[in-house]
Structure 1
Amino acid sequence: MNMKVLLVNPVGEWGGAEKIFFLVSQIFQKTGFELYVLLGSRGILYEKLRNLNFNISIMNFPDLSENSIVIAGRRFQLPHHLLKNLRKIKILSKKFWDYLRILKPDIIYLNNLRSLVLYYETVRTYGKPCEAVVIWHEHGYQRSIIRQLILDKIYLKFVDAVICVSKHLANKHLKDVQQKLYVVHNGIPDELNAIEKENVRYEYNNNKVLIIHPAFITYWKGQHLALKAVDLLVKRGVRNFEIWFFGEPRSKQDYKYFKKLKQFVRSKNLEKQVFFKGFSANIIDEMLKADIVISTSVEDDPFPTILLEASMIGKPVVTTDAGGSGEIVKNGETGFVVKKDKRELASALCELIQNKELRDVFSKNARDRFLKEFSILAFEKRFLETLESILRR
């Protein structure tokens, strides 16, 4: 194909959405498109793309402020931060318009919200710089009804197609934009065969069931819910387990939350069950030690990568029904999907703690499901089929 494609990502660092951007870039590269990449900064993503000889330009995106804050378990929007962030992005619009006018791509692939906002502000202010099919890859929720309305009624106006990472995310959109929506579940590399699996539990007491909770320490990841379930289990006499929390707080608010978590552990005498292990640069190696992987998000998570990784290494999962979690974990087949309720969570954990045969069945099913649905090959097939559908419209 001789079509010219521009791939836009607001940062050059390495996160969940950037991993998908990297995979998408490789898919486009394989199909023979003439590729150009525009990044908002340098970083790991930049280096990885450069090593594959991509044509990369840098347009420095500004640092943005948090748009919301959680107080006493409730999320509050910060409109003044939203407006401030919007003004920062608008500054780039003329430079972006000039870039597009000169390049004249046939396809513009926008990754993440900042890229979408920049494209909208550019077209709204200066007009369309070129005739291109515009695709936005959506990885996250709008945390309020007003923000969802603004997204659907305003920012998607100049977009031809939206790729959503889960059905749950797609269902958040208004009917007005449903015809633009395509669901493509993410995939991840199959690293299981490359991992050294011998003696992965050498540092652990094999007589206890090991539960691992991998997530940065913040309220919406629900570590408090996990601790309440642990407290219930201990009160019921279930003590033949440990739970290891991997992750660290990232903001002042998160550190306050972390302090409360540790206070709860002390007040309930859970020190023999609960261990905070901090950040791990290689969380998959840590999860290999686990008998059970747990995810306890109390707010919607579009399509948690950590659950894909647990599936990839064949670990049974207990997860709250938060966003796209139930599209990864098949309830009663590869794990349990429960309400955001400490009793349901404790019951699901108890069943797996006390039933090794069930853990083994879930483990095999999880690995089989990964190979069929969430491998790189499966993702590549879905993405190319979706791209063909978009271009045929």
Structure 2
Amino acid sequence: MSAAERTLEDHVASASRRIVIAFPFVGDKLGGSHISATGLIAGLDKEKFEPLIVVHKQGQVLERFLQERGLSVTLAPEVDILSPLVGRRLIGGFSAALAHLRTTARLVRFLRTHSIDIVHTNDSEMHATWALAARLAGGKLLWHHRADPLAQGVNILAPLLANHIVGVSKFVRPARPLLPIEHKFTVLHSPFDHPGTQLDREACRRNLAEELLLPFNTRFVGYVGNLVERKRPMAFVEAVHAFHRRYPDFALSGVLFGCSPPNKPDLGEMIRTRANELGISNRIHLLGFRTPVAPCMSALDILLVPAVNEPFGRTLIEAMLLGTPVVATNHGGNPEAVDDGTTGYLVEPEKPDAFVAPMARLLLDRPHWDEISKTAMAHALIKYGNKAHIEGISRLYRNLVPSR
């Protein structure tokens, strides 16, 4: 074979090779971004794309979640996991700067060893840790933004280093980017699995009442998500209290499914204390993280979302897909998901009392509850699904690595 023929053969082999995408995660947390990324990874066309899931901490919650879904992980090199706060200290800290250089050098070697074409980062720590390494290794960086539009990383680091930025809603678009991003910012809503069969909602509700040793006529409103300040779990407790002030004889309990993330303040005890102060400790139940979430969500009469600056909460759409009406704050990405009065209700943020009127209408008017439930489910089934998200991200991958 001549040199020209070998060159042509190598070129054809390179052009037909699958695009290799690295998905780095810390591994000690499991939240909406991890669930979304898992749905994407599982749904990618494996004839065109080769995903490599990389974790910094093995044997923890994320790896177990992935293994249950038949997905394997690769251990990242031993490096310092950075954060935006660490990044700010690099200017004044020589030792921190050296640590960052060591981290970047090791990750560059890792990316080149695995022939990574694209690094797809999904949270602030992975953005900060992998962004520079991705570009120095000769790869592309897809920055998936699910947080505050004022976050420093997406306004400073992403415009400099990201080849493309994906936002989960219009709300999260970087508010003060260091460089123009119009040419490289796309909104793609997170993927959602459509439930195969609807659960027996009444059976789910009775099971929850039995677990909590409550009368079977108890109705439930719920909070689903991490117990963090931005999601306002305390406001959920105060909304339940406000409802009971107005309807003291109504058998309603509030249940919180979720827990405080590692290295964050434990809000569970604060929630219990607040419920006790309000005299509704017997009406508030913290049930921790649950999976699968569908039976929990189906047991609820209403999902309350008191969060502020919520980029695009997964729980809103998951509730709609299961037929659970939603009452959410008119803030963040919530208005992009809820059509007020049609597929749910939007209320003024930071005012727990504002939840009472829509809660009462849904709990006391069953035909209206049925109408909201059916309309929201039909809307969610049409608008939100894995297919559109996977096709959108796949298109971005092909645009980033056109030679494939």
Provide TM-score, normalisation by structure 2: 0.78
Letter of the aligned partner of 1:22 in structure 2? T
Question: Which of 281, 291, 301 lines up with 1:291 in the alignment?
Answer: 301
Contact map agreement 1:22 1:49 (CA 8 A) in 2: no
Deviations 1:337-393, CA, capped at 9 Å, x for gaps: 212112322222222222222211111122112211222223223333444565679
Report the AA paired with residue 231 of structure 2: K
Structure 2 residue identity aligned to 1:8: F
Work out whether residues 83 and 125 of structure 2, in 8 Å CA contact, stay in contact via their aligned partners in 1.
no
Deviation at 1:171? Answer: 5.1
Q: Distance in 2 between matches of 1:360 and 1:99?
A: 54
C-alpha distance in 2 between matches for 1:107 and 1:65? 21
- Secondary structure of the 2:238 match is helix
Stretch of structure 1 that moved more, 280-289 or 103-112: 103-112
Kept in 2, the 8 Å contact 1:294–1:319? The answer is: yes
Alignment pair present for 1:26 and 2:42: yes
Higher radius of gyration, 1 or 2: 2
Match of 1:166 in 2: 169
- The separation in 2 between residues aligned to 1:46 and 1:266, in whole angstroms, is 37
Following superposition, the deviation at residue 40 of structure 1 comes to: 2.5
Cα distance between partner residues in 1 of 2:83 and 2:130? 20
Match of 1:156 among 153, 156, 159: 159
Match of 2:319 in 1: 310
> Structure 1 residues 55 and 309 mapped into 2: Cα distance closer, same or farther (>3 Å)?
closer
Over 3 Å counting, the alpha-carbon distance change for 1:267 and 1:155 in structure 2 is: closer
Secondary structure of 2:161's aligned partner:
coil
Partner residue, 2:193: 189
Show the 5 A alignment for 1:309-328. 309-328=318-337
Kindly report which structure 2 residues correspond to 1:116-155, keeping only aligned pairs within 5 A, or say none: 116-122=127-133, 128-130=136-138, 132-141=139-148, 145=150, 147-148=151-152, 151-155=154-158
Which residue pairs with 1:75 in the alignment?
Answer: none
Aligned partners of 1:352 and 1:358 also within 8 Å: yes
Q: Does 1:276 align with 2:279?
A: no
Pairing of 1:40-189 with structure 2 (within 5 A): 40-43=56-59, 45-46=62-63, 48=66, 56=74, 58-62=76-80, 89-122=100-133, 128-130=136-138, 132-141=139-148, 145=150, 147-148=151-152, 151-170=154-173, 172-174=175-177, 176-189=180-193
8 A Cα contact 2:302 2:326, kept in partner: yes
The separation in 2 between residues aligned to 1:49 and 1:270, in whole angstroms, is 40
Separation in 2, partners of 1:88, 1:229: 46
How far apart are 1:313 and its partner, in Å? 0.8
Q: Matched residues in 2 for 1:237 and 1:189: separation?
A: 37
Counting aligned pairs with the same residue, the percent is 17
1:213 pairs with 2:223 = yes
Secondary structure of 2:181's counterpart equals: helix
State the match for 1:4 in structure 2: 19
Letter in 2 for 1:274: I
CA distance in 2, matches of 1:100, 1:89: 16
- In structure 1, how many angstroms separate the alpha carbons of the residues matched to 2:203 and 2:70? 35
Q: Which moved more, 1:220-229 or 1:262-271?
A: 262-271
What code does the residue aligned with 2:120 have? Y
Counterpart position of 2:9: none
Q: Distance in 2 between matches of 1:189 and 1:309?
A: 9
Q: List alignment gaps of at least 5 residues for structure 1.
A: 69-77
The alpha carbon displacement at 1:89 in A equals 4.9
Unaligned runs of 5+ in 2: 1-15, 210-214
Alignment partner, residue 362 of structure 2: 352
Do 2:155 and 2:174's aligned partners in 1 also have CA atoms closer than 8 Å?
A: no
Q: Secondary structure at the match of 2:143?
A: strand
In the alignment, residue 210 of structure 1 is paired with which amino acid?
F
8 Å Cα contact 2:131-2:141 kept in structure 1: no
Deviation per residue, 1:54-108 (Å, 9 max, x gap): 684533454668959xxxxxxxxx969x979877554321112223344444433
**Counterpart amino acid of 1:370?**
A
Q: Cα offset for 1:216?
A: 3.4
Cα pair 2:82 2:126 within 8 Å, conserved: no
Q: AA paired with 1:382?
A: G
Q: Compute the displacement of 1:201 (Å).
A: 2.5
Q: Contact 2:167 / 2:185 at 8 angstroms: preserved in 1?
A: yes
Question: What SS is found at the alignment partner of 1:38?
Answer: strand
Q: Give 1:315 deviation, angstroms.
A: 0.6
RMSD of aligned residue pairs (Cα, Å): 3.7
The aligned amino acid for 1:33 is: F
Q: How far does residue 294 in structure 1 lie from its aligned partner after superposition?
A: 1.0
Q: RCO (CA 8 Å, sep 6+): is it higher in 1 or 2? A: 2
CA contact (8 A) 2:83 2:124 kept: no
Q: Deviations over 1:211-249 (max 9, x none)?
A: 112233343322222232333323323542222223344
- Greater CA drift, 86-95 or 302-311: 86-95
Aligned partner of 1:74 in structure 2 is: none
2:13 corresponds to: none
SS at match of 1:244: strand
Q: Structure 2 vs 1, CA of residues 316 and 261 (structure 1 numbering), >3 Å: closer, same or farther?
A: same
1:235 maps to amino acid: R
